[in-house]
Amino acid sequence: MIKSKQQVSVLFMLFSILFCVCLIAANTLETKQISVLGISLTGGLIVFPISYIINDCVCEVWGFQKARLLIWTGFAMNFFFVSMGALCDWIPGAPYWTNEAGFHAIFGLAPRVAAASFIAFIVGSFANAYVMSKMKLRDGGRHFSWRAILSTIAGESLDSLIFFPLALGGVVPTPELPKLMLWQVVLKTLYEVIALPITIRVVKKLKQHEGEDVYDNGVNYSIWKIFSLQ
């Protein structure tokens, strides 16, 4: 009997699935504009911050290399979903189909917006994982709460700085863009802070169950080393 060389963590797989679902759900929910306390936001705010929390958990427990695999897996699944949605939107609807406009509003993502979304996701997610990993090394594993918050601020700030100018520049009045970006970062970070007690418990349980608490000594932080897990 041939034995597997590498054991796959069921919990890591479950976290990866949830991560991908959050990204796909966020893309769909982004098509609705919502109002929170009089502030105009996108519906993706409801679920997208969860992807950063998962990123934090994975990087803290399994290390940057597993977080890198997680991010690229999420990117690939999200790209597949958006591509299939765009293809279906492009195919003419049946003569009796009356919801073409509604379907197009959700899945007819303009190439400019899609490109901005993918670039912002990659940069923001890797910034989040990098800050988490480096701060853990610097602090000797202490101060997880600060790592989680500061890494989220770094990741969400870069995400917003890239996405909004690329996707909405020339569409939204220029003076409004900084306000929109700032509110997105503030509210998403607040989301992380509110969820922090749960995140801390989850991380603690994961470390106990998995017997893992990886420190990224000597790790290559290149984002392209996708399958480098050793």
Average pLDDT over residues 159-171: 84
CB atoms within 10 A of CB 135: 19
pTM of the model: 0.89
**Residue labelled with tokens 């995400």:** 159
Q: What is the per-residue pLDDT for 130?
A: 97
Summary mean pLDDT of the chain: 88
Nearest to 223 by CA among 58, 64, 19, 112: 64
Nearest to 156 by CA among 77, 15, 74, 49: 49
Structure tokens at 130: 């990098």
Q: What is the per-residue pLDDT for 230?
A: 56
Q: What is the per-residue pLDDT for 74?
A: 94
Does residue 64 have a pLDDT over 70?
yes
User: How many alpha carbons lie under 13 Å from residue 188 in its C-beta half-sphere?
Assistant: 32
CB distance 192 to 52 below 8 Å? yes
Give the model confidence (pLDDT) of 184-193 as tens digits: 889 889 999 9
Give the model confidence (pLDDT) of 4-41 as tens digits: 445 678 999 999 999 999 999 988 887 787 877 777 77
Query: 74-83, 105-114, 146-155, 212-221: lowest mean pLDDT where?
Result: 105-114
Q: What is the per-residue pLDDT for 6?
A: 55
Give the model confidence (pLDDT) of 195-214 as tens digits: 999 999 999 999 999 999 99
Domains of the chain, by residue range, sit at 10-92+99-210
Does residue 100 have a pLDDT over 80?
yes
CB distance 75 to 121 below 8 Å? yes
CB distance 181 to 164 below 8 Å? yes
Q: What is the per-residue pLDDT for 2?
A: 43
Nearest to 61 by CA among 220, 166, 201: 201
**Residue labelled with tokens 């963590």:** 9
Q: Identify the burial level of 66 via C-beta atoms within 10 angstroms of its C-beta, where 0-12 means exposed, 13-18 middle and 19 or more buried.
A: buried
pLDDT-based confidence at 69, cuts 50/70/90? very high
Q: How far apart are CA 196 and CA 192, in angstroms?
A: 6
